Amino acid sequence: MENKKSNISVAVIGFGNVGEYGLKAVEDAEDMDVGGIVVKEKYVDRTKKYYPDYKVVTKIEELDGIDIALLCIPSLSIPTYAPELLKKGINTVDSFDLHGDELLKLKKTLHNASLKGNAVSVTAAGWDPGTNSLIRGIFQAIAPKGITHTNFGPGMSMGHSVAVKKIDGVKEALSITVPKGIGTHSRVVYVEIEEGYELTQVEKDLRKSEYFKNCDLQLYEVDNVKNYLDFGHGVYLTRKGVSSQTHNQMMEFDLKITNPAVTAQIMVSSARAAVRQEPGNYFLLELPMVDLLGGNKESVLHKLV
């Protein structure tokens, strides 16, 4: 499929749920083209069968004219995979989904790699971290003093589910986030256990994971995880605070989504913004909002302002 030179050429790296939705989002973007799909060798033939119009390779270097790569891979793979691309001058977008020190450490690593390769990277470009960070920022701009509560779910957490699958003895897994109120949550995890393994050992190893440390965890063994699978998720953000020394300012944001589809769309919007920035690493909170949106800048401003 021939690319229009004026468009942004996007490579999709990793082709699970987020990768496939990412490709669809690129197809729908008038200013973008699919430059190719990068998968592991064992998935090449299957991907070519369902997407014969696109070049399917095992290394991004086999693709020509790529402007940016969507890293649709597990979060824990990003700290080692992304810097190598950035040092080669390949722009990247990822949806790393851990908060706190791990995220800030990754940002520093990606920023240094981006500068070495004269490239741009956008990290944590999902809905949380990501667009929810923008909402929290808007809330804080409205009421600088106050408390914001982020209540996730109920719904499937892709990052947590992948983390469970990496535990020895787990054949299949699903992690559901259940809100308890005022920003606290439970993790309800369903697993299929391989023969010769015990649920108690799986739980012991799971609690050591970055995703489940100090977590209210409920773990259940089931015969078929697919019977519990639902990609729906959501968030309910609230803030109660002070504006201009006036108390009791109340804000709410309620989101109900199909998780991988929205994550992929945010990554694609971030890719558009990324190619408009100077080299370095960015969170969504650092990007100009108008750069995330397609179309003529003046038209966008006229419509939204």
Domain borders along the chain are 8-129+259-304, 144-258
Q: What is the pLDDT of residue 214?
A: 84
Residues near 192 by beta carbon (within 8 Å), at least 6 away in sequence? 170, 171, 172, 173, 221, 222, 223, 224, 225
DSSP letter at 127 equals: B
Per-residue pLDDT tens over the stretch 192-247: 999 999 999 999 999 999 899 888 999 999 999 999 999 999 999 999 999 999 99
Give 52-69 pLDDT, tens digit per residue: 999 999 999 999 999 999
Residue 2 confidence (pLDDT)? 45
Q: What is the pLDDT of residue 5?
A: 53
**Which residue type, as a one-letter code, is found at position 43?**
Y
Of residues 114, 2, 257, 247, the one with CA closest to residue 123: 114
Would you call 168 exposed, middle or buried from its count of C-beta atoms within 10 A (0-12, 13-18, 19+)? exposed
Residue 158 confidence (pLDDT)? 92
Here the tokens at position 70 are: 């969507």
Cα 271 to chain centroid distance, Å, stands at 12
Residue in the structure block whose two tokens are 């535990």: 167
pTM greater than 0.85: yes
How is residue 78 written in tokens?
């990003």
- Given a cut of 80, whether residue 261 has pLDDT beyond it is yes
Task: Check if the beta carbon of residue 260 is closer than 8 Å to that of residue 97.
Answer: no
CATH number of 144-258: 3.30.360.10
Binned at pLDDT 50, 70 and 90, residue 4 comes out as very low
104-141 confidence digits (pLDDT tens): 999 999 999 999 999 999 999 999 999 999 999 999 99
The residue behind tokens 């003529």 is 296
And the tokens for 55?
A: 């070049």
Q: 140-176: per-residue pLDDT in tens?
A: 999 999 999 999 999 999 999 999 999 999 999 999 9
- Per-residue pLDDT reduced to its tens digit, 282-294: 999 999 999 999 9
pLDDT at 44: 97
Residue 134: other Cβ atoms inside 10 A:
17
CB-based burial of residue 174 (10 Å sphere; 0-12 exposed, 13-18 middle, 19+ buried)? Answer: buried
Q: Does the domain made of 8-129+259-304 have the CATH classification 3.40.50.12780?
A: no
Full strand arrangement of the beta sheet holding 170-181: 155-156, 170-181, 184-193, 216-221
Q: How many Cβ atoms sit within 10 Å of the Cβ of residue 29?
A: 19
